Amino acid sequence: MAFSITILGSNSAVPVYGRHHTAQYLQVENSHFLLDCGEGTQLQMQRYGLKPQKLNAIFISHLHGDHYLGLAGLLSTLHLQGRSKALHLYAPPPLADILTLQFRYADTTLRYPLHFHPLDMRKPALIIDNEQLTVRTLPLQHRIDCVGFVFAEKPYPLRLNKEKLPPDLSLAEIAALKKGEDVTDADGNIRYRNSDYTLPPKRARSYAYLTDTLYLPHLADSLHGVDMLYHEATFLTEKELKASQTYHATAGQAALLAKEAAAGKLLLGHFSARYKDLQPLLEEARKVFEESYLAIEGETFHITH
Ligand SMILES: [Zn+2]
Ligand SMILES: [Zn+2]
């Protein structure tokens, strides 16, 4: 089943060389999420064949324009297309005022319920916890309040070994096997031992989205073992001082965090307009962490079990 990230934009500050402002489309099975919504996001979705009406929730990391200026446009389009399904928006608290003002002066009342979930920008929090997954926030360190998001599937049940499965099992007994229990008779004697009929579960997958921020080594613990880490890599190490002065990170620092967190893969993004050629950023990261990749627009990265 799907667990994929499509890059819609990965440039910082100013859009150049055909690169757009930050936005990503994340699909976890039947859940469709948008992470940040820079200018032009709805056009990028069209270009890559992604349907905004499918979105269940939008997550905004912080209120610098390159991360949310496409939002009012996208929300308006959903309204004009007649959406009736609710949409959830997880964002810094002041975004509610900004959107209210924009829609008030446009005399627009959205046709669909927009559920605004103000984020606690200072403390880690669990913001979604359902049968399928959890989403938690991690406060980052940037010029203004900013959070990262970690998406993690819930553990999968044991898989049934269909070749060995006795034909006379009831649905309740099958459910018990999936939970790791033995099947017993009325007297409590074991009829079917769990380990004889089940196989290890599928691996639960995870994705962390961290932009914009200084390099924060202490996050390695909470990110431990994440399958894919997206981390901003605005600059090369030669601009490390500028990176820290502007509350950004280098490709080398992003790679260091991926290594310390024992991540599966690292995605680099939020590139400075000073870099037309992105290969040096990739090379710098790969010296520290081999499984590094550039977040190139239009590419989809799949996380497998
Ligand atoms: Zn930014
Ligand atoms: Zn920013």
CA 166 to ligand 2 centroid distance, Å: 58
Asked whether the whole model's pTM tops 0.85, one would answer: yes
Q: d(Cα 112, Cα 145) in Å, to the nearest integer? A: 29
Q: What is the pLDDT of residue 188?
A: 87
Centroid of ligand 1 to alpha carbon of 242 (angstroms): 15
Nearest ligand, CA 66 = 1
Neighbours of ion ligand 1 (CB under 5 A): 12, 64, 66, 212
Name the CATH topology of 3-156+202-302.
Answer: Metallo-beta-lactamase; Chain A (3.60.15)
Task: Supply the pLDDT for residue 162.
Answer: 87
66 is catalytic: yes
Burial-class residue 291 by CB neighbours within 10 Å (0-12, 13-18, 19+).
Answer: middle
Domain range list for the chain: 3-156+202-302, 159-199
What is the C-alpha to C-alpha distance for residues 198 and 223, in angstroms, rounded to an integer? 30
Q: In the prediction, which pLDDT does 123 show?
A: 97
Distance 299 CA to ligand 1 centre (A): 20
Kindly give the distance from the C-alpha atom of residue 252 to the centroid of ligand 1, in angstroms, as a whole number: 18
pLDDT at 57: 98
Mean pLDDT, the chain cut into blocks of 10 residues (305 residues total)? 95 90 97 97 97 97 98 97 97 98 96 98 98 97 98 94 87 90 89 91 96 97 98 97 97 98 98 96 98 98 95
**What is the pLDDT, as a whole number, of residue 45?**
98
The residue from 66, 145, 212, 227 that is catalytic is 66
> Taking a C-beta distance cutoff of 8 angstroms, is the pair 207, 230 a contact?
yes
Ligand 2 mean position to 212 CA, how many Å? 5
